[in-house]
Amino acid sequence: MSANSTPNESTAALWRLPTVLRETCLNKTRLYSLQRAGQFPRAVKIGERTVAWPARDVQTWIAERIAERDAGRPA
């Protein structure tokens, strides 16, 4: 990668727990509960005791919640 090129943030960014909680407005218990139930993106292990979530996956999850809300609303 050259000095002038940067990875596409939407495909390369990883968000740690505080960012995910802030962006989703979930608390930690609810986030992990949804993840266990397969209703929230799974975290990626990035260290021995460290995980993060792909930003794109979390943003997609948020967009799906908004789409579900809007689907029930007449245009």
For 48-75, write each residue's pLDDT tens digit.
999 999 999 999 999 999 999 999 866 5
Choose between 20 and 7: higher pLDDT.
20
Q: What pLDDT is recorded for position 19?
A: 98
Helix 17-24 crosses helix 55-71 at what angle (to 10 degrees)? Answer: 10
Tell me the whole-structure pTM to 2 decimals. 0.79
- At 50 the three-state DSSP class reads strand
Q: What pLDDT is recorded for position 38?
A: 97
For 9-35, write each residue's pLDDT tens digit.
556 899 999 999 999 999 999 999 999
For the chain, what's the residue count? 75
Domains of the chain, by residue range, sit at: 13-70
CATH for 13-70, among 1.10.238, 1.10.287, 1.10.1660, 1.10.3470?
A: 1.10.238
One DSSP character per residue, 5-58 reads: ----HHHH-EE-HHHHHHHHT--HHHHHHHHHTTSSPPPEEEETTEEEEEHHHH
